Amino acid sequence: MAKTVALLLGVHAHQPVGNFESVLDDAHARCYGPFLRLMYEYPAFHFAIHISGWLLQYMLKHFPDDMGLLHEMVERGQVELFGAGFTEPVLASIPVRDRIGQINTLSKFLKTELGALPQGAWLTERVWESTVVPALADAGIQYVTVDDYHFMCTGKDTAELNSFYTTEEDGHRIDLFPISEALRYRLPFSPAHEVVAYLESLAQEDGQAAAVYFDDIEKFGIWPETYAWVYERGWLRQFIEGVLDSNVIKPMRYADYHKQARTKGVVYLPTASYIEMNEWTLPVPAAHHYADLVDQERHNQRYEVTKPFVRGGIWRNFLMRYPESNWMHKRMLALSNRYHALPKGKQTQEMLQALYEAQANDAYWHGLFGGLYLPHLRRAVYQALIRLESLLDETEPRAPQQVLDIDLDGHDELFIQNDSLQAVIRLDGTAAISEFDSYKLKHNFADTLTRQAEHYHRKVNAAPEHHHQGEGISNPHDQMVSKHEITPDDLALDEYRKALFCDQWIDGGGNQHLLQYARDEHGGPDCEFAALVPGQTTLLRKTFRVDKNRLTVQYTLTSPEVLDGRLRVELNLAMPSCDGPAGRFRQGKHILGGFGQPLQLDEFQELSLDDGVLGGTLELKSSVAGRYNSYPHFSVSQSEAGFEKIMQAVTILLEWPADQLLNGIFVEIKLI
């Protein structure tokens, strides 16, 4: 029998919920469209494709001709459609009922729009936890793809990973295809003839060997250098024709191979994702230690043997690392519970759509891609959460005040709300607002990011890394460049969590003290707190109230003995325009500048923040004139294009001397 190898080539197309239309259009122009049109020319080249539901909706609406080609390739048996959660959630991070619902929603959509139900599923970020098996099986999925690294962690050798294995959980079974890391790093970065030769080297005489590839389609046109390489210089066409000219390589759909082959046996995989995620999920300094250990193993030429045992973190570590991610996640879980607790007759499709959008994975984590660091992706999650919460409140109203430890951090939060606004006050001593929602504008004005150390920050000022040699193009995983000039000040870390109404007392010597508040739990309509002024016996009282579309915070000193010092109140306002041209400070008709510019006012009492992206205005007022200072709050993160500075919020500092606090002052935020 002649040697052969089945090429199981799959591509995954995804754009985050809430991404800019210009980004989607550019992605289609440089990748999705050219890829589909070229593949259409070669009916004998069978492959699989997964397109996330939100992106597929957009493509069907805006690019019907290319979607028509895809539909035709499905009908003629060239293309296999893969399923997943509709909004691309990490299945392991959402409730079981939502896992099944998300998968079924996309499967039905694929059947309706493209004519086929999927048998296989793409696992978001290849995050594997055995608990997802029952939901996958119950949703009609027969097999999924995960990294070969997952299998190596069980002790499997790469030579064994040329077909599928079977696992089970709670009486449910699913088959697992191991994605080849060697192919992931070759396609499309190595010359086409070298990739074809590598595939031919995998052939075996039993006719059962498979070369398994499933990875981001964005590597075929969107990643740096790839459009020119893949299309203009002809890499993809050369690769397709090289495969079809080979007597050894047999391009197949996963479904066809799965039908003809038999499982190689049972396997139980550990909780894992792709190998790069091991580093991304770890905080500093653990990430440094892990990276140094990997470098040491590579230097000693042991890494290919030891990498299954030199393991870092797991995907869920992001919920530990970033309080902002954890907060969104726990809010999503709570609202899922509220939705599913409703009688079936009160549940609506609009509610379910909002819930699923809130489960989209992208804003919950961070690695080579911006993810959590991108304000517009977090905003999309909050828009969905706020929209869902508003719909639930209309159906089953909540109490005006609730005390919960929703994020499981050991500190309660106080929720105060009406049908226009919601403020969530942290009961950790800060009495700061960690979420401030407008139901009309569907926006959380406290959605900012606290700057923390990242492993890659130590590479900012290092010499650029270039591991590629010879022909081909560089893999972005191996590059470290910078989109912006990064200074040491840009890498400064925040000493406390960024929020609204973070209060400091500045004493006569200029020393700053974070105020520590205790709540007065009298249960009245107002929420009252009191803090002891540092070094004094005087109390500073802080009172919150929401009334229609206004939030009012009052500060009052209880005795006149403290006259030397001043109160500083910090507000970190998430404005969707960030430092773009649609955001501006205004006093009356006078424009003072954009959100990305510093602003100082010695006698502040009133200011408007207009935001064209938001479609609304935030009016900030003080009952007593005070000093005003604002500046943009930036973070530094990495993306596939390099290091970049991203504006997270407008930081506003308001100050009043102690004697002005004796009769009380009011700070009001009005949203219109």
Residues acting as catalytic residues: 125, 216
What 3-state class would DSSP assign to 213?
strand
Which sign, positive or negative, has the C-alpha torsion 237, 239, 245, 251? negative
CB 227: neighbour CB atoms within 10 A? 17
Cis peptide before 191 (omega within 30 of 0): no
Residue type for position 358: A
262: CB partners within 8 A, 6+ apart: 208
* CB distance 81 to 46 below 8 Å: no
Among candidate residues 135, 51, 93, 90, the one with its CA nearest the CA of residue 274: 90
Return the structure tokens found at 148: 């070969």
CA atoms of 110 and 66, how far apart (whole Å): 15
What is the 8-class DSSP label of residue 237?
H
CA atoms of 434 and 411, how far apart (whole Å): 12
CA atoms of 600 and 621, how far apart (whole Å): 15
Kindly report the three-state secondary structure assignment for every residue of 17-85.
CCCCHHHHHHHHHHHHHHHHHHHHCCCCCCEEEEECHHHHHHHHHHCHHHHHHHHHHHHCCCEEECECC
* CB distance 14 to 217 below 8 Å: no
Q: Rg of the chain's alpha carbons, rounded to an integer?
A: 28
| Bridge pairing between strands 401-404 and 165-169 | unpaired
